[in-house]
């Protein structure tokens, strides 16, 4: 269903491209979260468009929502689940989305191994 992605490569590409690869990473995180949670509202193009249309405000809500969806997906997979949605929200409010991306990717990689 989803594939495991190398966290270090994604992080380095985001840093070396001055954040441009972060857009691609955001897109893939949305897609993968949508697939594991079966939530049709979480697909990349829609989340990217909503983020652009709201000048980034939707991304704050997106961070919280991804936290909730990953928590539910881990629970449904029988894995130890911690609800990081509030942490993602706070980090996003402080502009630390790259930290969110790393944590989200780690959760998605765990789910990819099980599938």
Give me the residue spans of the domains in the chain: 7-114
H helix and E strand count, the chain: 6, 0
pLDDT by 10s per residue, the chain, length 115: 889 999 999 999 999 999 999 999 999 999 999 999 988 888 889 999 999 999 999 999 999 999 999 999 999 999 999 999 999 999 999 999 999 999 999 999 999 988 6
Residues 47, 81: contact at Cβ < 8 Å?
no
* Residues contacting residue 78 through CB under 8 Å, at least 6 positions apart: none
pTM (2 d.p.): 0.92
Residues 68, 101: contact at Cβ < 8 Å?
no
For 19, other C-beta atoms within 10 Å of its C-beta total 12
Distance in angstroms (rounded) separating the CA atoms of residues 67 and 70: 5
Sheet strands (E) in 46-112? none
């Amino acid at each position: 269903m989803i594939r495991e992605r190398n966290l270090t490569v994604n992080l380095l590409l985001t840093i070396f491209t001055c954040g441009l690869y972060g857009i691609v990473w955001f897109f893939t995180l949305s897609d993968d979260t949508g697939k594991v949670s079966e939530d049709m509202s979480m697909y990349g193009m829609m989340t990217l468009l909503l983020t652009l249309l709201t000048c980034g405000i939707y991304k704050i809500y997106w961070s919280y929502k991804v936290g909730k969806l990953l928590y539910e997906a881990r629970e449904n997979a029988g894995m130890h689940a911690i609800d990081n949605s509030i942490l993602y929200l706070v980090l996003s409010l402080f502009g630390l989305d790259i930290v969110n991306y790393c944590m989200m990717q780690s959760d998605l990689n765990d789910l990819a191994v099980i599938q």
